[in-house]
Amino acid sequence: MAALEAINLDITEGEFLSLVGPSGCGKTTLLRIIAGLAEPSQGDRRLSLTTEGGGQLPSGRIGFVFQDPTLMPWSTVFDNALLPFRIAGRVGSAERERVREEIRAVGLDGFENAYPRQLSGGMRMRVSIARALVTDPDLLLLDEPFAALDEITRMALNDDLLRLWESRRTTVVFVTHSVFESVYLSTRIAVMTARPGRIAANLPVELPRPRERTLRTSPAYAAICAAVSEELARAMAEGSQ
Amino acid sequence: MRPRRISRLWRVAAPLALGAFFLALWEVVVRVENIPPYILPRPLAIAGSLWTDGPSLLSALLVTLRVTLAALAAAAVLGGAIAVLFSLSRILELSLFPYAVILQVTPIVAIAPLIIIWVREPFLALLVCAWIVAFFPIVANTTVGLNSVDRNLLALFRLYGASQVQVLRYLKLPTALPYFLAGLRISGGLALIGAVVAEFVAGTGGAETGLAFRILEAGYRLAIPRLFAALFLLSLTGIVIYLVLDGLSRLLLRHWHESALEEEEE
């Protein structure tokens, strides 16, 4: 059976789209296909950003954050975040300044020369996010980046990601298991079903911005979480039949 | 702090104390039992021989050491290069690796006479023998290392359009470095063994005589204390080679690899 069915996913420039679904529904596969890291077995990847009208994004225009921080243990924080430029063959003072900027933006000022093993899990994930942002990508893909973190660290990183996105409005596709996380962050949530993976529902998240932590206890937030959970339950019931 | 100090002291003191006790026991047993020196010499007699024959033994050691170090260097360079070639071409790895294994499992004592006949230059013949023994751990380890690259990191390199050379330089080689160094530490000891075995087989064939020949010669002349003194030097050399390579490994990996972490880390 195919992991993914025909999927038609429109991503609007500047939106924060979350893909929510049961495990094994192909969220990660979909993300990798968007990034060009996995090839669809049938059909082809027709990636078109609706505002730009077609074409594949050139390398370096997509940022990817994996579930693991995926850092090079032999390199410092600075060198890890510099990697996209190093591969592109441009390591000038402007690029170095960009890297320093992003390390500051993710709250790791002063840790430029630290090695990954000296950092906590949350800090490593921040390095991973800084690396994805240095090229100022048109599309930022995050594959359950906070799944392995403890609740407190996860909330802190949610807030930081929210702040980063609200100040730049980079187009984001965010894969997560967590309904609460997705509602807190997103402008839109796509609920996926398992086997075959397809998009069962699209739910806009119309909550005011800038969002604060107090939003997590508001009735409006709770109502949307309930709606998304309901769609997710329906999608899972459908998948198990 | 204190418990660590004690344990570090013990790590040096305990084996030294055991060694001293063993040597003392050896000395006493030989004296009491009146064992003749051509069967088992006393440690003090060996030390005396080390003192009197020291200069000539040391010059023999230098000959052996030259072969050993040259073979180790050749094994590191060629072994590393072969492993990189393997990582670039699966076909090459599949077709060549079995022959590397064959070379490894064939006893060097058995092929050393052939090599000594074929390679006229004595130094080169010994070098080739020691190299054959030493290069395999480096090839095998480095190959494993080059194939152990983090898949997500590899995906990331592809995402940013990295070339094969960039993947090799920035990802595969650093990943393989700890494996290469582990291979090098094994090969250091093997290169010495290879050099000694080749010298044994070559006998007096070589113009310059290494430590192995001095051992043979001392055996023929029943100069057993000198034989032990030469053995002692050989072991000491092996230990020094190991310690130097171990230190090199720690130096290169000190920032990031688990094997080189300081003990204060939890």
Going B120 to B122 to B127 to B130, the CA torsion angle's sign is: positive
Say which range, A173-182, B17-26, B92-101, B130-139, has the weakest mean pLDDT.
Answer: B92-101
User: Residue B203 is encoded by which pair of tokens?
Assistant: 């006998």
Question: Do the chains contact at B255 and A64, CB–CB below 8 Å?
Answer: no
What is the pLDDT at residue A48?
45
Burial class of B5 by CB neighbour count within 10 A (0 to 12, 13 to 18, 19+): exposed
What is the pLDDT at residue A61?
83
Residue of chain B minimizing CA distance to A34: B159
Residue of chain B minimizing CA distance to A137: B160
Same domain, A132 and A206: no
Q: Which amino acid is at A85?
A: F
Same domain, A9 and A93: no
pLDDT score of B170 more than 90: yes
Same domain, A104 and A216: no
Domain boundary among A69, A103, A137: A137
Closest Cβ–Cβ partner in B160, B162, B256 for A74:
B256
What is the pLDDT at residue B219?
87
Q: What percent of chain A has pLDDT over 70?
A: 88
Q: Is residue A82 domain-resident?
A: yes
What is the pLDDT at residue B223?
87
Q: Is residue A146 domain-resident?
A: no
Q: Is residue A142 domain-resident?
A: no
Say which range, A156-170, B92-106, B200-214, has the weakest mean pLDDT.
Answer: B200-214
Chain A positions touching B167 (Cβ under 8 A) are none
Same domain, A63 and A46: no
Same domain, A45 and A74: no
What is the pLDDT at residue A6?
66
Mean pLDDT to the nearest integer, A122-133: 96
A196: Cβ–Cβ under 8 A, 6 or more apart, which residues? Answer: A1, A2, A3, A4, A5, A26
The alpha carbon of residue A95 is apart from the nearest alpha carbon of chain B, in Å, by 15
For testing contact with chain A, the best of B149, B156, B265 (most A CBs within 10 A) = B156
Q: Is residue A93 domain-resident?
A: yes
Q: Is residue A145 domain-resident?
A: no
Same domain, A120 and A167: no
For testing contact with chain A, the best of B256, B257, B266 (most A CBs within 10 A) = B256
pLDDT score of A220 more than 60: yes
Same domain, A155 and A220: yes
Write the ipTM: 0.88
Count of structural domains within chain A: 2
Same domain, A116 and A2: no
**In this structure, what CATH number is given to the domain that contains residue A203?**
3.40.50.300
Question: Length of chain A, please?
Answer: 241
The alpha carbon of residue A11 is apart from the nearest alpha carbon of chain B, in Å, by 20
Mean pLDDT to the nearest integer, A116-137: 94
The alpha carbon of residue A203 is apart from the nearest alpha carbon of chain B, in Å, by 30
Chain A positions touching B152 (Cβ under 8 A) are 66, 68, 70
* Interval B46-57: pLDDT, tens: 999 889 888 888
Question: Do the chains contact at B155 and A37, CB–CB below 8 Å?
Answer: yes
The alpha carbon of residue B245 is apart from the nearest alpha carbon of chain A, in Å, by 20
Domain boundary among A115, A137, A159: A137
Chain A positions touching B157 (Cβ under 8 A) are 87
Name, of B11-20, B90-99, B167-176, B208-217, the range with top average pLDDT. B167-176
Q: What HEC string does A137-172 produce?
A: CCEEEEECCCCCCCHHHHHHHHHHHHHHHHHHCCEE
Where b means 16+ CB within 10 Å and e means fewer, A90-114 reads eeeeebeebbbebbebbbbeebeeb
The alpha carbon of residue A42 is apart from the nearest alpha carbon of chain B, in Å, by 21
Residue of chain A minimizing CA distance to B265: A118
What is the pLDDT at residue B265?
44
Calculate the average pLDDT of chain A: 86
Question: Do the chains contact at A70 and B166, CB–CB below 8 Å?
Answer: no
Cα B222 to Cα B36, B48, B110, B135, B266, distances in angstroms: 11, 16, 27, 36, 55
Same domain, A160 and A239: yes
The alpha carbon of residue A205 is apart from the nearest alpha carbon of chain B, in Å, by 30
What is the pLDDT at residue B1?
47
Angle between helices B54-88 and B224-253 in degrees, nearest 10: 40
Between residues A215 and A42, the one the model is more confident about: A215
Please, which pLDDT band fits residue A4 given cuts at 50, 70 and 90? low
Chain A positions touching B170 (Cβ under 8 A) are 72, 83, 86-87
Chain B positions touching A59 (Cβ under 8 A) are 159-161
pLDDT score of B261 more than 90: no
Closest Cβ–Cβ partner in A70, A75, A117 for B156:
A70
Please, which pLDDT band fits residue B11 given cuts at 50, 70 and 90? confident
Same domain, A160 and A126: no
Q: Which amino acid is at A146?
A: F
In angstroms, how far is CA B166 from the centroid of its own chain? Answer: 32
Question: Do the chains contact at B159 and A37, CB–CB below 8 Å?
Answer: yes
Same domain, A125 and A171: no
pLDDT score of B137 more than 80: yes
Name, of A25-34, B111-120, B178-187, the range with top average pLDDT. B178-187
Chain A positions touching B166 (Cβ under 8 A) are 86-87
pLDDT score of B108 more than 90: no
Helix residue ranges per DSSP H, chain B: 2-33, 43-52, 54-88, 90-105, 108-118, 122-146, 151-159, 164-166, 173-202, 211-220, 224-253
Say which range, A118-122, A163-167, B168-172, B255-259, has the weakest mean pLDDT.
Answer: B255-259
Q: Is residue A44 domain-resident?
A: yes
Domain boundary among A137, A166, A192: A137
* Interval A18-71: pLDDT, tens: 999 887 778 888 888 888 887 766 655 554 444 444 455 555 588 999 999 999
Full residue range of the structural domain in which residue A113 is found: 58-137
Burial class of A141 by CB neighbour count within 10 A (0 to 12, 13 to 18, 19+): buried
* Interval A74-105: pLDDT, tens: 999 999 999 999 999 999 999 999 999 999 99
Q: Is residue A143 domain-resident?
A: no
What is the pLDDT at residue A101?
95
Same domain, A129 and A210: no
Please, which pLDDT band fits residue A208 given cuts at 50, 70 and 90? confident
Q: Please report the number of interchain residue pairs, chain A to chain B, with beta-carbon separation below 8 angstroms.
A: 54
pLDDT score of B34 more than 50: yes
pLDDT score of A195 more than 90: no
Closest Cβ–Cβ partner in B156, B255, B257 for A64:
B156
The alpha carbon of residue A150 is apart from the nearest alpha carbon of chain B, in Å, by 20
